[in-house]
Homo-oligomer: A and B are copies of this chain.
Amino acid sequence: MKKFLNDVDDMLSESLRGFGAAQADIVAVHDDPMFVTRAAPRRDKVALISGGGSGHEPLHAGFVGTGMLDAACPGQVFTSPTPDQMMAAAEAVASDAGVLWIVKNYSGDVMNFEMAQEMVDGSQSLLVNDDVAVEDSTYTAGRRGVAGTLIVEKIVGAAAEEGAGLDACVALGNRVIAATRSFGVALTSCTVPAAGTPTFDIGDNEIEMGVGIHGEPGRHREPLGTADAIAGQMMEAILSDLAPAAGGKVLFLVNGFGGTPLMELDLMYGAGAKLLSDHGLTFSRSLVGNYVTSLEMAGCSFTVTALDDEMTRLWDAPVHTAALRWGC
């Protein structure tokens, strides 16, 4: 294992301290228990709190800030955060407007966020399950939550920033979830620091179609084909499930898993965008980059959200976080 670290046991806390130092104008990193809040929390709005295992950076702490999350709870690598982290985050950022937990659909996350939800009166949850690849997986009952999470966090975050109430945020979030689908592929494995060896073996000419963001198996393996052929399978899986209205506008996110160069992500964006056009869809909003990663895994995912006017307006609204920033 070749990584920049001092001691595996300190890696997460040292990384978060570095993140906090680099982004001190945006976030504050809290220890014991560990959570991240905005540098200047606003306690007059619905508090959006997310979290999950680390190793997916910039998700979630990189999306804490104006127009997006109020707090994030990072677990150990690929491990759910604990309810005490969630409770401490809620205490730091919650107001009378209520708390909304944004949860990716993994069994550990679901269980721990449910405990937190029970302990914070009147709080509610959004469960993101955008991955069309498989119905159940290593860590999941039902579909996995993957890169679509950032779209939920951005759009609901903008609504909450404008003063939308808790019920309205829940309804909007569920609309975004219902309009969002993802599919990922992997060319190489990642290596969890505490494990020290690759999560899975994959042949020199193989690709895992439908991989999860922890390296969980997808639908099948096959010989590595052309970018166009891979993009075709990814987009077919998404569009056959999402079935967007012809002539509709979509947000198209090409998300890198950490080890794939931007040059290749841009190429995959071009391949996917052509397929959207061929389906009579307009890619009216776009995002390309490493946003929901799997450590250094080579691979990428496509995410498509069928946009309505309100979702588009809220996507465009100002955001100021470490990883997404526009309009301010």
Contacts and interface: CB of A to CB of B under 8 A. Distances in A.
Contacts of A263: 11-12, 15, 54-55, 57, 77, 295
Interface stretch (A149-157, A212-220, A264-272): A264-272
Contacts of A6: 226-228, 267
15 contacts: A3-B187, A4-B230, A11-B263, A14-B227, A15-B266, A18-B266, A18-B271, A19-B269, A55-B263, A57-B262, A57-B266, A62-B262, A261-B296, A263-B295, A290-B290
Contact of A298 (B205, B266, B296): B296
B268 A21 contact: no
Output the residue of A2, A17, A227, A271 with the most chain B CB within 10 A.
Answer: A2
Contacts of A107: none
A188 B261 CA distance: 14
Q: How many copies of this chain does the complex contain?
A: 2
B296 A259 contact: yes
B18 A270 contact: yes
A175 to B, nearest CB: 25
Contacts of A296: 259-261, 298
Given A18-B268, A21-B283, A273-B22, A57 B288 contact: no
A2 B188 contact: yes
A200 to B, nearest CB: 14
Contacts of A283: 21
A293 interface: yes
A221 to B, nearest CB: 13
